Structure 1
Amino acid sequence: MTDAHPRMALGTMHFGTRLSATQSREILDAYLDLGGQWIDTANCYAFWGAESGLGGQSETVIGQWLADRGVRDQVRISTKVGAEPTRPHGFPAAVEGLGRDTVNQAIRDSLQRLQTERVDMYWAHMEDREQPVSDVAETFGELVDQGLATRIGLSNHPAWYAAAANVHAQQRGAARFSALQLRESYLHPRPDVQVEGEDHPHGMMTIESKDLAERCGLDLWAYTPLLTGAYEHPERPLPKAYEHPGTHGRLAVLREWADKLAMKPSQIVLALLNAQQPAITPIVGVSSVAQLAEAVEATRFTLPEEALEELNTVG
């Protein structure tokens, strides 16, 4: 095992559904051997791929792997609450939300599936505007006080929400939300168009979320960084929101640098996210050990300054 942790989190959305338990464990074993540390999951993964119409499969696979391998102290576990259907196949009309009782029960259910006493990061998965911001801040802060979560974060929330929640937490001397998890990649959609298949109205990383993170010391995590394989598979069309001149210019420069550096375009994207200010931790989902090895290699690669300048400014 290498000493340097790759600057990424392993996405496990399809563990136990699209990927069998055996395949999932092979990837987890390889991730550990490659020095991987953060493992990202959610209590709702993956209700849409399960006959039951409810989630929990990913956490269950990870928990059994942790118990069998005895490696809980070598990894960090990140999971979420707020998007699990309250009835089979009930999303998005019937979703658990972020009420105090719901969150308190959900984290205990997640800990049971994960076979651990605490998680290292607990995320509010999506907004619940029926709950006051102050109540959500207090609910999650109490989980830290109870030792059930080491850190707390907000996924798919706007920057203003994070700022308001943390002002409230600061006034109470409570734990703050210390990370934001949002959708981000090298290509960006038009801001006035809803991305096809994106369920979260505030799921995109913005200049405001980046500014908040940099000025207030929050970590940034990026989901769907590789656009479900679109960088390497032209047969997988990008959503229509990405159809604009900036996309074509960026893709051309990305492919040029991939050729120059003898890397895959997706590897360049991962290295570029790490190199941003503030740095962005990509959450990378893979379906094979080979894909995992490529991703880990990319997050350990330092792009030349010339590449950074050109990739960041084109388009």
Structure 2
Amino acid sequence: MNYLHFGRRTVEESLKRLKTERIDLLWAHMADGATPLDEILRGFDDLVRAGKIHYAGLSNFPAWMVSRADLLAELRGWSPVAGIQVEYSLAERGADREFLPMAEALGLGAALWSPLGGGLLTGKYRDGSKEGRMTGLGGVLLRTEKSDRETATLDAVLAIAQELDATPSHVAIAWLLDKARKSSTALVPILGSRTRAQLDGTLGAINLRLSAEQVQKLDQASAIVMGNPYDIVAQSAGSIAGGRAEALRQQLIPPR
């Protein structure tokens, strides 16, 4: 059974369970390594035209596949890719290399999962606590301190939380919200609360504003090695002829 038929069938089953007529946003959860990209996009388009979904997005797909999908949908007149879903937090900033600059360039929304870094940014695992993901999910997506960068990041989060009389979770999410306010596209943290109390507590981050100095401190502590070609551009920017070095730097190295 191909993706077109399988996708339609599973959406129809979901609509029955949800007791609704359409799904606002349907995600293809990840690339399976077998289904052609154009088949996924055609499946999305059929579902949109049938009125069963409003929008569709790609979750955990490589950036090159998302870019190709966006262009294919445009060239063939299919429903566009609305957004991406990717892990992003102070603990995991790999999306700074390709995903977030791509989302801004293509006008895609970005749903950011694991905003607390699998529990690392709450600080609760530093004191040996075994609650939360450590037990509830058997360590799935759990991130504890395994590098100097992670230790420095958590140190900064805890210090700023103490300055503001806030929780570490609030500081971590407030940093994401600061990124969202500065972005030209929609960046939406996905809250993974398991209880109403956790959700109510997490939502308090909405009212927390970090100073420019605090954001800079978190940025510096959590900074990742960008790798090539970004590092080459950064090293060569001062010697590129024609007075275009800074323009090239801004194009290739996202200001994060």
AA paired with 2:105? R
Work out whether 1:294 is the aligned partner of 2:201: yes
- 1:177 aligned to which of 56, 81, 85: 81
Distance (whole Å) between structure 1 residues aligned to residue 96 and residue 144 of structure 2? 15
Deviation at 1:263, TM superposition (A): 0.9
Name the structure 2 match of 1:244: 147
Q: Deviations over 1:191-221 (max 9, x none)?
A: xxxxxxxxxxxxx635201111011111111
1:187–1:143 distance in 2 versus 1, CA, 3 Å: same
Q: Which amino acid aligns with 1:100?
A: L
Q: Specify the alignment match of 1:306 in structure 2.
A: 213
Which ranges in structure 2 are unaligned for 5 or more consecutive residues? 223-256
Tell me what 1:165 maps to: 69
SS across alignment from 2:124: coil
Deviates more, 1:260-269 or 1:204-213: 204-213
> Pairwise mapping of residues 120-159 of structure 1 onto structure 2 (< 5 A)?
120-159=24-63
Which one of 211, 218, 232 corresponds to residue 123 of structure 2?
A: 232
Amino acid at match of 2:166: M
Q: Are 2:5 and 1:101 equivalent residues in the alignment?
A: yes
Residue 124 of structure 1: how far off its partner (Å) = 0.1
- The alignment of Structure 1 onto Structure 2 pairs a total of residues equal to 205
CA pair 286-241 structure 1, distance change in 2 beyond 3 A: closer
Contact 2:90-2:117 at 8 Å conserved across structures = no
TM-score under structure 1 normalisation? 0.60
Amino acid at match of 1:310: K
TM-score, normalising length: structure 2: 0.73
- Give the equivalent residue in structure 2 for 1:267: 170
Q: Distance in 1 between matches of 2:6 and 2:96?
A: 29
- 2-side partners of 1:261 and 1:209: how far apart? 31
Q: Which residue of 2 aligns with 1:281?
A: 188
The whole-number CA distance in structure 2 between the counterparts of 1:248 and 1:294 is 24
Aligned to 1:51: none
Query: Quick one: structure 1 residues 242 and 280, their matched pair in 2 at CA, closer, same or farther if it must change by over 3 Å?
Result: farther
- Separation (CA, whole Å) in 1 of partners of 2:117 and 2:221: 19
Q: Return the alpha-carbon distance in structure 2 between the equivalents of residues 173 and 240 of structure 1.
A: 42
Hey, what's the Cα distance between the residues in 1 that align with 2:151 and 2:177? 23
Aligned identity (percent) is 28
Q: From the superposition, tell whether residues 240 and 281 of structure 1 become closer, same or farther in structure 2 (CA, over 3 Å).
A: closer
| Letter paired with 1:233 | K
Highest CA radius of gyration, 1 or 2? 2
- Give the SS at the match of 2:86: strand
Secondary structure of the 2:216 match is helix
Which amino acid is 1:123 matched to?
W
RMSD between superposed Cα atoms in Å? 2.2
Letter of the structure 1 residue corresponding to residue 61 of structure 2: H
Report the secondary structure of 1:281's partner residue.
strand
Change (3 A) 1:300 1:123: farther
Q: Hey, what does 2:112 align to over in structure 1?
A: 222
CA–CA separation in structure 2 for the residues paired with 1:130 and 1:188: 28
Instruction: Provide the residue aligned with 2:242 in structure 1.
Output: none
2:100 match: 210
Greater helix fraction, Structure 1 or Structure 2? 2
Please identify, of 293-302 and 155-164, the stretch whose mean Cα deviation from structure 2 is larger: 293-302
Relative to structure 1, is the Cα distance of residues 99 and 170 closer, same or farther in structure 2, using a 3 angstrom cutoff?
same
Deviation at 1:280, TM superposition (A): 2.8
1:114-140 alpha-carbon deviations (Å, 9 max, x no partner): 111011100001112211111111111
Q: Would you say the 8 A contact 1:119–1:148 is kept in 2?
A: yes
Residues of 1 paired with 2:104 and 2:112: CA distance? 15
